[in-house]
């Protein structure tokens, strides 16, 4: 297991730890409900340093990566970023990526446990290109402030005087005590949110500043469980859970944000363009209202049926504090995925009802 850079800091705050894809995470600090409420109403600081981070350097880095990912990044200028997917030659996903154009390098941020896979995949196609792929996970940590008052938290922490306005845009602070800290506009949960990449040696100092600023507006530090519950409520898929190497990007609800049909050639382009020309895929990500009192919640892969025909499977499920509902995300066949369709969930504990609803989730009466 890869331990968090700030393990001792979190321990001093009575953190409860767990693992995600072999990486240590903070699950909560003893009050998941309060952490979830802070995300909805104020702001929550979360340590995302367990995520993967690599940098691409070399004179050919932009041209090379442009030919690897699904979105158009050739025009990115320093201070700009983009969301994209990495797919194989058959158009199936290998990762999703947040890409940031720094002055002399490209920074890639992605799900934990994928650093070796992403590095090998990119390295496979580096032939005569002047490109180096460098794992910077141990050098830079990642803290994130999410929630409606996230901008106020950032400013009042004193590290930055203003926040970048455009999604995936970023700025840099050269604080004499903190060194180079990057502030990215990354609304990870469908609302205001910012990521801060900072050198490992100053990460705790930065975390303390941000935590104090969050507490000053009624927010708090929080963990993975509140973060994940809010992600599911927002209908945002996560690679490795709601989308994986069996999926095309168009099946996962990320086509509009991650795929460009106007860029030059890239690995997997022919397949994705063919799907686009056809007009649709045969299955798509959908939201589900699950039966009340369902225990345990369905696990990833549990099957969904309509008229005794298998039509999909669960990818994520959670008891929603905001909606007072059991909810889930699922990949469902298009012919069974219309809003309002009643499905049958067949799990390890028997059968129960599941109703297709629009994403993001909203309060729905039975």
Q: What would the pLDDT profile of 50-88 be if each residue is shown by its tens digit?
A: 999 999 999 999 999 999 999 999 999 999 999 999 999
Instruction: State pLDDT tens for residues 123-152.
Output: 999 999 999 999 999 999 999 999 999 999
Q: Is the pLDDT of residue 109 over 50?
A: yes
pLDDT of res. 104: 97
Would the pLDDT of 165 be above 50?
A: yes
**Percent of the chain having pLDDT more than 90?**
94
**Sign (positive or negative) of CA dihedral 282, 309, 317, 25:** negative
Phi/psi at 263 (5° precision): -95, 175
Judging by DSSP bridges, how do beta strands 81-87 and 93-101 pair with one another?
Answer: antiparallel
What does the pLDDT read at residue 280?
85
Largest Cα span, the chain: 65
What is the Cα–Cα distance from 279 to 277, expressed in whole angstroms?
5
| pLDDT tens digits along 259-289 | 999 998 999 999 999 999 988 899 999 999 9
State the pTM of this model. Answer: 0.96
Half-sphere exposure of 108 (CA within 13 A, CB side): 30
Nearest to 91 by CA among 198, 212, 248, 243: 248
pLDDT at residue 298 greater than cutoff 80: yes
Say yes or no to pLDDT of 366 above 70: no
Q: What is the pLDDT of residues 180-198, one digit of tens each?
A: 999 999 999 999 999 999 9
Q: Using one digit for the tens of pLDDT, what is the confidence trace for 4-17?
A: 999 999 999 999 99
| Consecutive H or E run containing 344 | strand 342-347
pLDDT score of 309 = 97
At 151, is the secondary structure helix, strand, or coil? Answer: helix
Neighbours of 193 (CB within 10 A): 23
pLDDT of 219 over the 70 cut: yes
Q: Specify the pLDDT at position 363.
A: 65
CA dist list (Å): 291 to 108, 327, 328: 39, 8, 11
Q: Tokens 């050639």 map to which residue? A: 265
The predicted model gives 32-45 an average pLDDT of: 97
What percentage of residues in the chain have a pLDDT greater than 70?
A: 99
| DSSP 8-state secondary structure symbol assigned to residue 96 | E
């Amino acid at each position: 297991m890869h331990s968090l850079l700030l393990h001792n800091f979190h321990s001093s705050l009575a953190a409860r730890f767990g693992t995600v894809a072999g990486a240590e995470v903070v699950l909560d600090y003893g009050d998941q409900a309060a952490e979830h409420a802070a995300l909805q109403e104020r702001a929550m600081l979360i340590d995302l340093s367990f995520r993967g981070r690599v940098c691409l350097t070399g004179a050919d880095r932009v041209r090379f990566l442009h030919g690897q990912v699904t979105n158009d990044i050739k025009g990115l200028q320093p201070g700009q970023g983009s969301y994209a997917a990495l797919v194989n030659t058959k158009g199936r996903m290998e990762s999703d990526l947040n890409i940031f154009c720094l002055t002399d390098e490209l920074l890639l941020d992605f799900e934990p446990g994928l650093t070796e896979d992403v590095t090998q995949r990119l390295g496979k196609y580096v032939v005569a290109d002047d490109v180096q792929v460098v794992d910077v996970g141990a050098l830079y940590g990642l803290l994130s402030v999410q929630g409606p008052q996230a901008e106020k938290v950032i400013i009042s922490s004193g590290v930055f005087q203003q926040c970048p306005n455009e999604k995936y845009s970023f700025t840099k602070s050269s604080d004499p005590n903190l060194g180079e800290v990057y502030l990215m506009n990354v609304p990870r949960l469908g609302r205001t949110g910012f990521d801060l990449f900072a050198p490992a040696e100053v990460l705790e100092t930065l975390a303390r500043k941000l935590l104090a600023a969050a507490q000053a507006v009624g927010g708090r530090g929080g963990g993975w469980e509140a973060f994940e519950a809010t992600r599911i409520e927002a209908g945002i898929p996560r690679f490795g859970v709601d989308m994986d190497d069996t999926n095309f990007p168009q099946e996962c609800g990320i086509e509009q944000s991650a795929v460009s049909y106007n860029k030059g050639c890239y690995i997997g382009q022919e397949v994705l363009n063919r799907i686009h020309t056809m007009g649709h895929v045969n299955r798509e990500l959908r939201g589900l209202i699950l039966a009340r009192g369902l225990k345990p919640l369905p696990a990833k892969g549990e099957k969904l049926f309509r008229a005794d025909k298998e039509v999909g499977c669960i990818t994520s499920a959670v008891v929603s504090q905001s909606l007072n509902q059991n909810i889930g995300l699922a990949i469902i066949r298009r012919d069974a995925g219309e809003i309002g369709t009643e499905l049958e969930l067949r799990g390890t504990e028997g059968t129960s009802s599941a109703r297709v609803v629009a994403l993001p989730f909203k309060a729905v009466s039975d």
